[in-house]
Amino acid sequence: MQYQSFLIKYAEIAIKGKNRHIFEDALVKQIKIALRKVEGTFSVTREYGRMFVSAQGDYDYDEAVEALKHVFGIVGICPVEVSDVDAPDKLKEKAVSFFGREYPDTDKSFKVHVRRLDKRYPLDSQQLNAMIGEAILEAYPSTHVDVHEPDIMLQVEIREKVYFYSHVIPGPGGLPVGSGGKAMLCLSGGIDSPVAGYMIAKRGIKLDAVYFNAPPYTSERALQKVIDLAAVIAKYTGPIYLHNINFTAIQMYIYEKCPHDELTIHMRRYMMRIAERLARDNECGAIITGESVGQVASQTMASLQATNEVCTLPVFRPLIGFDKEEIITVSKKIGTYETSILPYEDCCTIFVAKHPVTKPNVDVIRRHEKNLSEDIDRLFEEAIATDEVIIVGKEDVRQMA
Amino acid sequence: MMKEIYLDNSATTRVFPEAAQLMSEIYLNEYGNPSSMHHMGVIAERRIMEAGNILADILKVNRKNLIYTSCGSESDNLAIIGGAHANARNGKHVITSAIEHPGVSEAFAHLKEEGYEVTVLPVDRYGRVSVSALEEAVRDDTVLVSVMHVNNELGSVQPVEELAAAIKRKNPKTLFHVDAVQSFGKFRINPKRAGIDLLSASGHKIHGPKGVGLLYIADKVRVENLIYGGGQQQGLRSGTENVAGIAGMALAAKMLYDDLDRETERLYGMKKEFISRILQIPGVSVNGIEFGEGAEPLLDPARTAPHIISLSAKDVRAEVLLHALEEKGIYVSAGSACASNRPHISETLTAIGLKKDLLDSTVRVSMSVMTTQEEMNAAADALKELIPFLSRFRRH
């Protein structure tokens, strides 16, 4: 059956009190962005506690559902049949024929759940439930009613129009992107950082991203890989501004001036500083990293302490308590895994020592960092000046109604 | 934009403008299907015949012994798999070398899966197969042997004529296939005289187009087709012929062979000069080359090809050196670029016993007739500048 409309269910955002309109506005906006790439013309409308997406004329159902499944804030997507508000007899007929088209020859159990938001309607919900239920039983005798655990839940909502639906396609949940501000994601080519970005975006936060490029140690293909990863995340978040920073000079300077077993720590301290500068320059309220405590030497608690102390913005580490396997599971679910495992060198692994420090002493690190004082400020500014912004996920925009 | 210095000619080459122009003419004006009965078909067919005449003339063979494919790998596959299948009653034993291109080695892997017994011959430290070892390996049930002429990573040359003679001495029924993708356009090859039954070549390694390959099949050698279709090319390779590609490949080959002796001498000269220059860089070694008593490189055409130089730079990762050269507009390859972008340890370099710490530090410089002495000097200078600098920054 071809549906022309979807009822969009959103749970969490409905309880945000006075801020509710902010979340709803953000959700409408994100739905519109997501549907831009879908063949067809759509409109998004709001009615009390409900949101509807309607297609005008032909459209690609699968593409539309797929796009909506990527919109944070949506809990459920219900393909609905919409009709005018008719007298009870006519309504009953329509309900029966909807049921028949949806579930031809079924022997499953069902329950009818009518919601009557228009209280002027002549029958109340209980009466309507009973009436429609009986009519379905009569028309399809192989079915039976089960009010506790029905296989099929036929929903009928009477508003300015009448909506029939029985399927709920799960959405990703969370909060609409943009409703919670913006943060700067440190995006490498690995498995973790895209997942971290996804998780924070899911909480309503829009993403900018920074990638540290180190030619000739990293290749053009490594950058392309990061762009490809950002493009996958952008399916959930809308366009991402990816800042490509040339980090080679700082990296080499650290290599020459600091003990080699501390290289990664010093490097990450400068990456955090650059990320923070970019965050502040681009109205981001936090930094996001894919760190998971204990995963590698640079992510032990002591190492995190050493890299954390260089910035004052909050650093979100949504994966901090995740095992690698758990991260991989999410990565596969959101579609970044296949790209993440492509074997291009990223700048974190170039000079990695065989036995890097695992418990860096912050005082020692600070002292060794002084070795850099001669040139590091200049190199820092030069690195910031290499910032090349790549807007990812903006192409392929179709006309929106 | 700086002018690029392209030294990755063993990966692919720039198409000769004359070949590109000819192809453009065919695409735009002589676009008929060579199988069509009308005039447009006839002139397209004539283009293929003319190309066949050129290529047959170069190889000193008959035009009807040439099959056109889509690439060198397809030619290798058709020769090896098709050759083994068509002659399966002669046995199920096949032989190849340890340093073949994947177009060959993977075809053997496929035969192995089908139940064939595969013997892989080792090579010496110059990347050469031993004639006596091959002779010993050939048995009564050996159906096919495949050994490449010029190795793509090292430039080492196999004694294909001696190998052919050794095979036929032992078993006249055994087919001998030679992957000549890296040698066609660089050496005069006469498969008939050499005793080669099957020989592969490719268009894009000789300043012709990508998407076209060549397979010579000697008289009375049976090969089973891999592709089923309209029965073109004596049923051995169905599918409408790539008319423009075939014509472009033939013209490019003609241009190379018309000037072969002079160019070969020039390339060997540049190779010798380049090797002498880079050997002055601390930590640099050159692979697969023999040196004389005065430490001068011995560039015997029977042992090393004119256009390929494999060099290792201690403590510098090949990929980093490649990208650092790229920043200067110089393009080389790390190991064999042909295989895809998947970094892997080269089987060829392992087979010649290259020290483990150099496996990941080896780049290939490959020249063509378009390469100039100035470009090679610039590349040597760039290496001289980059290698000492890059070797300061290494992993611990």
Could A343 and B324 be called an inter-chain contact, meaning their C-beta atoms sit closer than 8 Å? no
Instruction: Examine the pLDDT at B95 and tell me if it is beyond 90.
Output: yes
Domain spans in chain A, listed from the N-terminal domain onward: 5-170, 182-392
- Rounded to whole angstroms, the Cα distance separating A275 from A186 reads 7
pLDDT in tens, A172-217: 999 999 888 999 999 998 999 999 999 999 999 999 999 999 999 8
| H or E segment to which residue B348 belongs | helix B347-351
Could B395 and A221 be called an inter-chain contact, meaning their C-beta atoms sit closer than 8 Å? no
Instruction: Give the other-Cβ count within 10 Å of B3's Cβ.
Output: 7
Instruction: Examine the pLDDT at B346 and tell me if it is beyond 90.
Output: no
A182-392 topology per CATH: Rossmann fold (3.40.50)
State the complex-level ipTM. Answer: 0.77
If you search the block for the tokens 């991203």, which residue do you land on? A209
CB environment A84-121: b (16+ within 10 A), e (fewer):
eeeeeeebbebbbebbeebbeeeeeebbbbbebeeeeb
Instruction: Indicate the pairing of strand A388-392 with strand A315-316.
Output: unpaired
Chain region(s) in chain B for CATH 3.40.640.10: 17-257
Contact B304, B156 (CB under 8 A): yes
Query: Using CB atoms, which residue from B342, B343, B393 is nearest to A351?
Result: B393
pLDDT in tens, A320-369: 999 999 999 999 999 999 999 887 766 666 677 778 888 899 999 999 99
Please tell me the distance in Å from B131's CA to the nearest CA on chain A.
39
Virtual torsion, Cα B242, B77, B359, A354, nearest 10 deg: 100
pLDDT in tens, B284-302: 999 999 999 888 899 999 9
Please tell me the distance in Å from A257's CA to the nearest CA on chain B.
12
- Let me know how many helices (H) and strands (E) chain B has, helices first: 14, 15
Q: A374-377 long-range contacts, Cβ below 8 Å, gap at least 24?
A: A375/A253, A376/A250, A376/A253, A376/A270
Mean pLDDT taken over chain A: 90
- Rounded to whole angstroms, the Cα distance separating A248 from B384 reads 21
Q: Nearest chain A residue to B343 by CA: give it.
A: A343
For residue A5, CA distances in Å to A35, A165, B352 come to 13, 10, 67
Residues 6+ apart with CB under 8 A from B344: B335
| A354 contact residues in B (CB cutoff 8 A) | 395-396
Query: Using CB atoms, which residue from B323, B343, B395 is nearest to A216?
Result: B323
Q: Among A259, A266, A253, A261, which Cα is nearest to A354's?
A: A261
Q: What tokens were used for B390?
A: 């890059």
B5-13+260-390 topology per CATH: Aspartate Aminotransferase, domain 1 (3.90.1150)
Q: Nearest chain A residue to B328 by CA: give it.
A: A216
Could B393 and A343 be called an inter-chain contact, meaning their C-beta atoms sit closer than 8 Å? no
Q: Which residue has the higher pLDDT, A14 or A227?
A: A227
Instruction: Examine the pLDDT at B201 and tell me if it is beyond 60.
Output: yes
Query: What pLDDT shows up at residue A219?
Result: 85
Candidate list B338, B380, B382, B386, residue with the active-site label: B338
Instruction: Indicate the pairing of strand B93-97 with strand B142-146.
Output: parallel
- Let me know how many helices (H) and strands (E) chain A has, helices first: 13, 15
Mean pLDDT taken over chain B: 95
pLDDT in tens, A109-152: 999 999 988 888 888 889 999 999 999 999 998 999 998 999 99
Q: Give residue B344's pLDDT band: very low, low, confident or very high (50, 70, 90).
A: low
B17-257 topology per CATH: Aspartate Aminotransferase; domain 2 (3.40.640)
Active site residue B338: yes
What percent of chain B has pLDDT above 70?
96
Query: What pLDDT shows up at residue B336?
Result: 44
Contact A146, A111 (CB under 8 A): yes
Could A216 and B396 be called an inter-chain contact, meaning their C-beta atoms sit closer than 8 Å? no
Query: What pLDDT shows up at residue B343?
Result: 53
Chain region(s) in chain B for CATH 3.90.1150.10: 5-13+260-390
Is the CATH number 3.40.640.10 carried by domain A5-170?
Answer: no
Contact B14, B369 (CB under 8 A): no
Query: What pLDDT shows up at residue B341?
Result: 46
Mean pLDDT lowest among A273-287, B25-39, B274-288, B349-363: B349-363
Q: What tokens were used for A91?
A: 């309504």
Query: What pLDDT shows up at residue B339?
Result: 41
Contact B90, B141 (CB under 8 A): yes
What percent of chain A has pLDDT above 70?
95
Q: Does B343 touch chain A (CB under 8 A)?
A: yes
Please tell me the distance in Å from B396's CA to the nearest CA on chain A.
5
- Rounded to whole angstroms, the Cα distance separating A319 from A208 reads 18
pLDDT in tens, A210-266: 999 999 988 888 899 999 999 999 999 989 999 999 999 999 999 999 999 999 999
pTM above 0.90, yes or no: no
pLDDT in tens, B126-150: 999 999 999 999 999 999 999 999 9
Mean pLDDT lowest among B64-68, B228-232, B332-336: B332-336
Instruction: Indicate the pairing of strand A182-186 with strand A206-213.
Output: parallel
